A and B are shown apart, each in its own frame.
Chain A
């Protein structure tokens, strides 16, 4: 459970910024929270009688969004949108599937479930934490979709309605089918073993033996044909594509042994291999199942796009505005984007206003960009300033956002050079096995035709890469389970291999090395007034601004009398009256402008100017009163993480879209020697490729959408759990707890996993090589081949479990330690 003590927010677990004194009343006790958003969520949750959430969750909640946003859920009450997004159910009910952003643990899904069921008219809710999806069924006569979505946002789980949602349905169907096949293979294997054992022991009457063989055959039919079906389909596709996949010898082995056994069982002569067949199918099906689960967790790019682009937009036509669906927009349309809304399309600002747009999703630039008449704005970015009228220039696939996604897909296609090499090696190995089996068959056909088939089959079973194929996935499954307990989600298990060899780490700055939130770090009084008093005066003025810097002041929750006669001077600061004093807050020149003589250099505060952050000054008619140092604080654990990685032999580089001074200070704080500032997404990728050309194996750690191409191209991609959706989907690892801490441990674990994989491979290859000549000579009966194969597999799996055993554990509950490693 996340530590919720000390100065961490009760709801989201983030450290509470200096000067913040907000409390939420939970179960008759005052609990500290970091912002009013979290306070509202925490009080809502307990107020609705859902406070058990705080007892059972194992991860902190998502930080509540304080940005004032217009009620975008009202649009979801419009009938045509409901029609498009939802599905008709029995008795006039409607159902919808939504993606829940911030759904992280079973307690979150419990919360979503309860919160929805408390609403009148909700008929059914099912929340799946694995896919972060909730399906709800409601009665349109008694509940409205907008209200349900609003409720979800209230409890801190931002919903993203998914139209149609084919991908999730496909994944669900695939999972169910795989479970059924696994069950049939498992049951069948156990039953057949039960009948096989007495036959091995021997001493049975002939009639009973015949009976057992027929029963075994009966049980094997569904195992071989139903559970084994995916392998035959895969083999068929491979053969049609003129390649050899693992499925080909597997299918040949299964079908060959099965058909021969059926023939022998019917004729009552020779050996039957039903035990080998069923065990073989079962082990392979387990392997496939583990693979499938990992693949499903990875999610898809389409999900991420669903979160970014708004479903509706406000179109201006003939002086009137109307809500339309984003897909109806055409280039040339007028668009009204209100404060807090996300742009639905690329366009050009037509108003004579000074707007501010948060482009951090596209550029990583943390400060909002000023936009005036003629400025270009992009889909997916958020309007933080005044409402803007925009002429649409590009929609859907032509937007910058779509371009980044395309870049991402191309990088994705380019990556798996290692995977290709492994595939080629496997194909080479497999084709030799097939040729070997044919040769053995031919040789025996000449020497002793009766032994030709059993010998060829023994070769196929013995060389069957069962232990070989388990050697890697078993280790990866154990490692994945171990990492999940440490708060690291593995979406692509291939990543372990480059992770173990990695030599270089590329860091994004905003939101990765830093927390991505502007805070008041230090108050430096410049005259005789106390720091606290200066801060209160600053808050009084800043209440009137929506600028992110102002939010850093107001987030403190300090209640002060508001200033009067406040005027905003864009780009400079604020001026107003507090308790009769004329005050200014802003840049050095602006704040000092009220006094007759202005010192040219920032005074006493300059002593701290070598320290990170930018300065904002407060001044009155007699000169400057105080300086405030604002930072996007570097994560507390960042320096230690970089040092630990360096100790493991990995050097670090920062690649950032941000300005050079900000990047330099972060580099100094984290002791990272190399950094590059003002890089576009393409620039980051170029930098990455240059490193890769020099032979570096690169881990990229990122957050924003602009990092997505970088993450895709990197050998290993790591995304912060709080990062934007798209970055997460292109990541191999997700740091779910929004902390860099686990990273060195992950590298160490990957290296240990690599060692154990090598041991496993060495063992299974040695076993196969030793068994192959014996099988080819006809000395290995099928049952010994199958037994050897199983023991070999068990050994490999037990060895794999060692990955999780030797580790430096964080202090945690004993029962959690005692839980055995989950292995495929």
Chain B
């Protein structure tokens, strides 16, 4: 069972990484709108020339 002394801290590091990723996602606005991005996938028949002229 001594392996837990290693695995548990490792698990916590993973949780920390997950939280950090989530904070980053929230901060960059990915959770501001949970409805319309789903639709944009359906509608996107992007024309090739659009791709470069559109910044994110």
Contacts and interface: CB of A to CB of B under 8 A. Distances in A.
Given A124-B55, A211-B8, A180 B26 contact: yes
B12 A219 contact: yes
A123 B15 CA distance: 36
Q: Mostly helix, strand, loop or mixed at chain A's interface?
A: helix
Contacts of B15: 187, 191, 219
Nearest to A49: B47
A430 interface: no
Contacts of B43: 52-53, 55-56, 107, 110, 114
Given A110-B39, A110-B40, A129-B35, A187 B19 contact: yes
Contacts, number: 79
Interface in B23-40: 23, 26-27, 29, 31-33, 35-36, 38-40
B5 A56 contact: no
A763 to B, nearest CB: 32
A205 B8 contact: no
A407 to B, nearest CB: 35
Contact of A175 (B32, B39, B54): B32
Nearest to B9: A215
Nearest to A218: B12
A127 interface: yes
A176 B35 CA distance: 16
Interface in A177-198: 179-180, 183-184, 187, 191, 195
B14 to A, nearest CB: 10
Interface string A368-383: 0000000000000000
A44 to B, nearest CB: 17
Nearest to A188: B15
B19 to A, nearest CB: 6
A56 B19 contact: no
Nearest to A125: B54
B32 A106 contact: no
B12 to A, nearest CB: 7
A101 interface: no
A418 interface: no
- Which of B36, B53, B55, B56 has the most chain A CB atoms closer than 10 A to its own CB? B36
B44 to A, nearest CB: 9
Given A176-B27, A179-B31, A218-B12, A205 B39 contact: no
Contacts of A195: 8
A211 B36 contact: no
B45 interface: yes
A106 B5 CA distance: 49
Contacts of A187: 15, 18-19
A126 to B, nearest CB: 7
A124 B56 contact: yes
Given A208-B4, A211-B4, A211-B8, A130 B26 contact: no
Contacts of A106: 35-36, 38-39
A184 B50 CA distance: 39
A297 B48 CA distance: 38
Given A123-B55, A124-B56, A208-B4, A113 B40 contact: yes
A52 B35 contact: no
Contact of A130 (B4, B29, B33, B45): B33
Contacts of B54: 117
Contacts of A130: 33, 35
Contact of A110 (B5, B19, B36, B47): B36
Interface residues of A, number: 36
A126 B40 CA distance: 12
A110 B19 CA distance: 30
A114 B45 CA distance: 11
B8 A215 contact: yes
A130 B35 CA distance: 8
B36 A109 contact: yes
A128 B39 contact: no
Contact of A183 (B1, B19, B36): B19
A124 B15 CA distance: 33
- Which of B12, B27, B40 has the most chain A CB atoms closer than 10 A to its own CB? B40
Contacts of A114: 43
B18 A176 contact: no
Contacts of B38: 106
Interface string A566-596: 0000000000000000000000000000000
Nearest to B18: A187
A55 B40 CA distance: 12
Contacts of B12: 191, 215, 218-219
A561 interface: no
Contacts of A690: none
A56 B18 contact: no
B36 A127 contact: yes
A172 interface: yes
Contacts of A205: 1
A124 B47 CA distance: 18
A516 B50 CA distance: 42
A128 B40 CA distance: 13
A398 B18 CA distance: 54
Contacts of B1: 205, 208
B22 A183 contact: yes
A239 to B, nearest CB: 31
A55 B44 CA distance: 12
A184 B33 contact: no
Given A176-B27, A191-B12, A184 B19 contact: yes
A441 to B, nearest CB: 35
A219 B15 CA distance: 10
A112 B34 CA distance: 17
Contacts of A175: 31-32
B36 to A, nearest CB: 4
5 contacts: A124-B56, A130-B35, A180-B23, A187-B18, A211-B5
Given A128-B32, A191-B15, 9 more contacts: A56-B39, A56-B42, A113-B36, A126-B29, A129-B36, A130-B33, A180-B23, A183-B26, A208-B1
**The 3 residue pairs across chains A and B that have the minimum distance between CB atoms:** A52-B43, A106-B36, A106-B39
